[in-house]
A and B are shown apart, each in its own frame.
Chain A
Amino acid sequence: MPDKPKVAFYWCASCGGCEEAVVDLAEDILKVVEAVDIVLWPVAMDFKKTDVEARPDGSIAVAFINGAVRTSEQEEWARMLRRKAQVVVSFGACANLGGIPALANQFKKEDILKFVYEDCPGVDNPSRTRPQTSTVDEGRTVTLPEIRNMVRSLDQVIDVDYYLPGCPPTPKIIMAAVQAILAGKLPAKGTVLSPDIALCEECKRKDSKPADLSLTEFKRPHQIQIDPEKCLLAQGLVCMGPATRSGCEALCPSGNMPCTGCFGPSSRVKDQGAKFVSSVFSNIAPKEAADIDKVLDGIPDPIGTFYRYGLSKCILRRKIN
Chain B
Amino acid sequence: MSKPMEQGAGAGFEPRIVAFFCNWCTYTAADLAGVSRLKYAPNVRVIRVMCSGRVDPQFVMEAFAKGADGVLLGGCHPGDCHYAEGNYKTLRRMRMLERMLKDMGIADGRFRLEWISGAEGDKVKSVVNDMVAKVRALGPLDLPGKFAEWDKEIEELEHQISAQPAKEAVHAR
Is B167's CB under 8 angstroms from A57's CB?
yes
Q: How large is the interface on B (under 10, 10 to 19, 20 to 34, 35 or more residues)?
A: 35 or more
Give the nearest-CB partner of A269 in chain B: B58
Report which of A75, A83, A292, A318 forms a contact with B171, defined as CB distance below 8 A. A83
The stretch from A26-34, A92-100, A147-155 touching chain B is A147-155
Residue A271 lies at the interface, judged by CB distance under 8 Å to chain B = yes
Interface string of B101-142 (1 = CB under 8 A from A): 001111000000000000000000000000000000000010
Is A57's CB under 8 angstroms from B150's CB?
no
Is B95's CB under 8 angstroms from A289's CB?
yes
Known: A56-B167, A277-B57. 13 other contacts (CB 8 A): A57-B170, A83-B166, A86-B172, A150-B150, A274-B100, A283-B89, A286-B92, A287-B88, A296-B95, A296-B99, A302-B96, A303-B104, A315-B62
Q: How large is the interface on A (under 10, 10 to 19, 20 to 34, 35 or more residues)?
A: 35 or more
A58 touching B104 in the complex, CB below 8 Å, given contacts A148-B153, A315-B62, A320-B146? no
Is B167's CB under 8 angstroms from A292's CB?
no
Interface string of B146-161 (1 = CB under 8 A from A): 1100110110011001
Q: Can you name 29 A-B pairs with beta carbons within 8 Å?
A: A56-B167, A56-B170, A57-B168, A75-B157, A76-B161, A83-B171, A106-B104, A149-B150, A152-B154, A156-B154, A157-B154, A271-B58, A274-B58, A277-B57, A277-B93, A277-B100, A278-B58, A281-B93, A282-B92, A289-B95, A292-B91, A292-B95, A296-B95, A303-B100, A314-B104, A315-B58, A315-B65, A316-B104, A319-B103
Query: In the complex, how many residue pairs between chain A and chain B have their CB atoms under 8 Å apart?
Result: 127
Is B100's CB under 8 angstroms from A306's CB?
yes
Interface of B (DSSP majority class): helix
Residues of A within 8 A of B32 (CB): none
Residue A53 lies at the interface, judged by CB distance under 8 Å to chain B = yes
Give the nearest-CB partner of B86 in chain A: A282
Is A316's CB under 8 angstroms from B106's CB?
yes
Residues of B within 8 A of A56 (CB): 167-168, 170
Residues of B within 8 A of A149 (CB): 150, 153
A289 touching B168 in the complex, CB below 8 Å, given contacts A277-B96, A302-B100, A316-B143? no
Residue A234 lies at the interface, judged by CB distance under 8 Å to chain B = no
Report Cα–Cα, A54/B62, bound state, in Å.
43
Would you list which residues of chain A between 278 and 295 have a CB under 8 Å from chain B? Answer: 278, 281-284, 286-287, 289, 292-293
Min CB distance B139 to A, Å, is 12
A281 touching B103 in the complex, CB below 8 Å, given contacts A53-B167, A56-B170, A316-B61? no
Report Cα–Cα, A46/B25, bound state, in Å.
67
Is B61's CB under 8 angstroms from A274's CB?
yes
Residue A273 lies at the interface, judged by CB distance under 8 Å to chain B = yes
Interface string of B51-81 (1 = CB under 8 A from A): 0010011101110110000000000001000
Residue A179 lies at the interface, judged by CB distance under 8 Å to chain B = no
Residue B173 lies at the interface, judged by CB distance under 8 Å to chain A = yes
Report which of A58, A302, A317 forms a contact with B99, defined as CB distance below 8 A. A302
Report which of A270, A273, A281, A319 forms a contact with B95, defined as CB distance below 8 A. A281
A148 touching B92 in the complex, CB below 8 Å, given contacts A56-B167, A273-B100, A321-B105? no
Name the residue in A150, A283, A302 with the highest tally of chain B Cβ atoms < 10 Å from its Cβ. Answer: A302
Residue A275 lies at the interface, judged by CB distance under 8 Å to chain B = yes
Residues of B within 8 A of A79 (CB): 157-158, 161
Report which of A54, A152, A292 forms a contact with B92, defined as CB distance below 8 A. A292
Report which of A83, A275, A296, A319 forms a contact with B56, defined as CB distance below 8 A. A275
Residue A72 lies at the interface, judged by CB distance under 8 Å to chain B = yes
Report Cα–Cα, A284/B89, bound state, in Å.
8
Report which of A54, A270, A275, A320 forms a contact with B106, defined as CB distance below 8 A. A320
Min CB distance A298 to B, Å, is 11
Residue B97 lies at the interface, judged by CB distance under 8 Å to chain A = yes
Report Cα–Cα, A275/B59, bound state, in Å.
10
Give the nearest-CB partner of B63 in chain A: A315
Report Cα–Cα, A157/B146, bound state, in Å.
16
Report Cα–Cα, A80/B170, bound state, in Å.
14
Report which of A53, A150, A270, A317 forms a contact with B58, defined as CB distance below 8 A. A270
Residues of A within 8 A of B95 (CB): 281, 289, 292-293, 296
Report which of B53, B93, B143, B167 forms a contact with A320, defined as CB distance below 8 A. B143
Residues of A within 8 A of B103 (CB): 106, 302-303, 319
Min CB distance B79 to A, Å, is 9
